Amino acid sequence: MVYADFPPIGPPILARYNCWGNNFNPNQDLYPSSLFIYSPTWCPPGGKNQPNPDEQEAAYNNAVNEFESGNYAEAKTLFESVVHLYPSSVFAQESMKELFRLEQFVGNDYNQLKTYLTSNDSIVADSVLIRLGQFLANSCDIKLENWESAISWQENRIINPISFQDSIFGIIDLGYTYLMMENSGNKSSYTGLLLEYKPKSAAEHRERRNRLLTLLPEGDLNNTIRKELVELESDRLLNNIPNPFSTSTTIYYKLSKPSDVVIKVFDLLGKEQMKIYHPQRPEGAHKAEIQATGLSAGTYTFTLEINGVRTDTKKMIVVK
């Protein structure tokens, strides 16, 4: 028996890769068992018995299937099991995200979820999971309308960023939180320290977000666009990136089926300034480049026409 003769507080004891024997029962053999992280185990001959990637993925997919089938309590248990058994895997990270998405169906108790995300042994022992847990805990604060806590955490993320990318997304998330606070049922007049990042309107927030996204390395920007395209409704446009722009910008759109596409650009008087044809584009996401050549500085609208029917309109700004 392994006995820890001190209060069960502080960081957990890492006891991975030990050979406990065939009759190992952590509740009987470790005291207090909650203080020890003992998986995965190892027994000779051979080296460390790392979890099989196929097993990790199968466990995660099993949890997803239960979620999609409406078995929410079972899904929650399975996602938590993935976090506990495979904390170093990408499936643990995805399971934590799914636990946040699942909470509205399984109990809507974001206080309890926040506690789990910030105190679970497997999470706090892993440097990647603990950062993700803090981010998701902040999302819980937004759900709970704990505005002061949410804004303070995001401001610290901006002031003390882990990376350049983290500071960019921190500014974007802070602006979004202020908008959520303004539109919430429990309005608050709280303002933090970084008032320069508090948007005056949703339009100002979108403009700042698009401008900040252009500062990201190409890989990060592509990942952000891919995520937004996944969430975009079919036959709709994304806001162009960058916006405002001086030389060129990119328009993204998504099709529900193979279609003939026309993108038109109009000035504020409604006069057509540009037309781009994309004949017989397949179903899915696409993009179109717009050059500022020939366009004066000012505000324009651009439209998406699918098989001759206008389905969406957005605004863009040209600066010279």
Residue 301 belongs to domain spanning = 237-318
pLDDT in tens, 183-203: 886 666 778 889 889 999 988
Q: Is the pTM of this model over 0.75?
A: no
Quote the percentage of the chain above a pLDDT of 90: 42
* Residue 60 C-alpha from the chain's centroid: 18
Strand partners, 30: 2
For residue 146, name the pLDDT band (cuts at 50, 70, 90): very high
Look at residue 218 in the predicted model and tell me its pLDDT.
53
The stretch 281-306 carries a mean pLDDT of 89
Residue 273 lies in a domain: yes
Residue 294 lies in a domain: yes
Residue 208 lies in a domain: yes
Look at residue 63 in the predicted model and tell me its pLDDT.
92
Look at residue 23 in the predicted model and tell me its pLDDT.
75
pLDDT above 90 (res 124) = yes
* CA 89 – CA 129 distance, rounded (Å): 10
Q: Supply the Cα-derived Rg of the chain in whole angstroms.
A: 25
Query: For residues 87 and 38, which has the higher predicted lDDT (pLDDT)?
Result: 87
CATH number for position 293:
2.60.40.1930
pLDDT above 90 (res 214) = no
For residue 47, name the pLDDT band (cuts at 50, 70, 90): very low
* CA 106 – CA 75 distance, rounded (Å): 9
Residue 206 lies in a domain: yes
Compute the mean pLDDT over every residue in the chain, rounded to the nearest whole number.
Answer: 84
Contact 297, 318 (CB under 8 A): yes
**Do 314 and 262 belong together in one domain?**
yes
The stretch 22-44 carries a mean pLDDT of 73
**Do 313 and 249 belong together in one domain?**
yes
Residue 114 lies in a domain: no
b/e 173-192 (16+ beta carbons within 10 angstroms → b): bbbbbbeebeeeeeeeeeeb
How many domains is the chain built from? 3
Torsion from C-alpha of 174, 179, 182, 188, nearest 10 degrees: -10
pLDDT above 60 (res 22) = yes
Residue 248 lies in a domain: yes
Query: For residues 99 and 18, which has the higher predicted lDDT (pLDDT)?
Result: 99
Quote the percentage of the chain above a pLDDT of 70: 86
Map residue 152 onto helix, strand or coil.
Answer: helix
Query: For residues 166 and 85, which has the higher predicted lDDT (pLDDT)?
Result: 85
For residue 151, name the pLDDT band (cuts at 50, 70, 90): very high
**Do 207 and 242 belong together in one domain?**
no
pLDDT above 90 (res 301) = yes
* CA 320 – CA 292 distance, rounded (Å): 9
**Do 186 and 241 belong together in one domain?**
no
Residue 188 lies in a domain: yes
**Do 208 and 255 belong together in one domain?**
no
Residue 153 lies in a domain: yes
pLDDT winner (highest mean) among 24-38, 118-132, 183-197: 118-132
pLDDT in tens, 235-262: 999 888 877 787 888 899 989 888 999 9
Weakest mean pLDDT among 36-50, 125-139, 256-270, 285-299 = 36-50
* CA 92 – CA 69 distance, rounded (Å): 21
- Of 129, 30, 27, whose CA–CA distance to 86 is shortest? 129
